[in-house]
Amino acid sequence: MDKPISIEATNKITARAKLEDICNDPAYMERGYKIMNIRLETTETLVVGVSEKIINNKKTIWNGNQWIEG
């Protein structure tokens, strides 16, 4: 696939389950998203007070439990 699937989850088991749901959905399967086509899985660990992302056009920071405005 030309673009990766990005899944945000609280742990690797939940992320893998969601990935399997996506790959088992007929709408995605028709576009080539199949578990057997996955070549690489990576995970990221968020750093408290450092990891940032934009949610609803607002900068947020990971506090160890949730994203808060920062």
- Please state the domain extents for the chain: 1-39, 46-70
Mean pLDDT score of the chain:
86
**Pairing outcome for strands 58-62 and 67-69:** antiparallel
| pLDDT exceeds cutoff 90 at 45 | no
Across residues 23-32, what is the average pLDDT?
85
Long-range contacts at 30-38 (CB < 8 A, ≥ 24 apart):
31/1, 32/1, 33/1, 33/5, 37/1
| Lowest-confidence segment of 20-24, 33-37, 55-59 by average pLDDT | 33-37
pTM of the full predicted structure? 0.63
| pLDDT exceeds cutoff 70 at 39 | yes
| pLDDT exceeds cutoff 80 at 4 | no
| Lowest-confidence segment of 12-16, 36-40, 56-60 by average pLDDT | 36-40
